[in-house]
Amino acid sequence: MSGSFKFEKSLVILVIAIFILSSFTFLAKGSDLVEIKNGFDSRLLSGKVIGVPDLNIRIDVSIALKLRNEKNLDNYLMEVENPDSPMFHHFISKDEFKNLYSPTDDEFNSVFKYFKDQWNDVTPGPYNLAIFINDVP
């Protein structure tokens, strides 16, 4: 793979990610957004106790679900950006993306039901890609 092809693939993935994430911002509630600039605190990833949260503060949680057929998606993105490919610039619709790469309705509904049984304010995200839990104690 040439350097420019890798760059183009990364650019396409970035554009898709920005589109998907911008869809989430319209569904999220709350005005106190927290920006994470440098990734996660390594203490969170190691499971070490880092303190006790203020029990009077409620938070909103966004859960991103894993894509299906990621290898096929990678291949599609390579083809759609390759000028020598018959798939060059043959983009798929939102519905096609959901049918091919999003979690299935059964998978999504199973996870959604689990969280809905735990909390009242649970909202489905677009294309079965996320679940939003609002006002979590």
At 104 the three-state DSSP class reads coil
Structure confidence by residue, pLDDT tens digits, 108-136: 999 999 999 988 899 999 999 999 999 88
> Over the stretch 36-70, which tens digit does the pLDDT of each residue have?
555 555 666 666 677 777 888 888 888 889 899 99
Q: How many domains does the chain have?
A: 1
Residue 61 backbone dihedrals phi, psi, to 5 degrees: -120, 135
Question: Tokens 């998606």 appear where?
Answer: 73
Q: Tell me which residue range forms the domain holding 99.
A: 3-136
7 to 2, 3, 11, 84: CA distances (angstroms): 9, 6, 6, 17
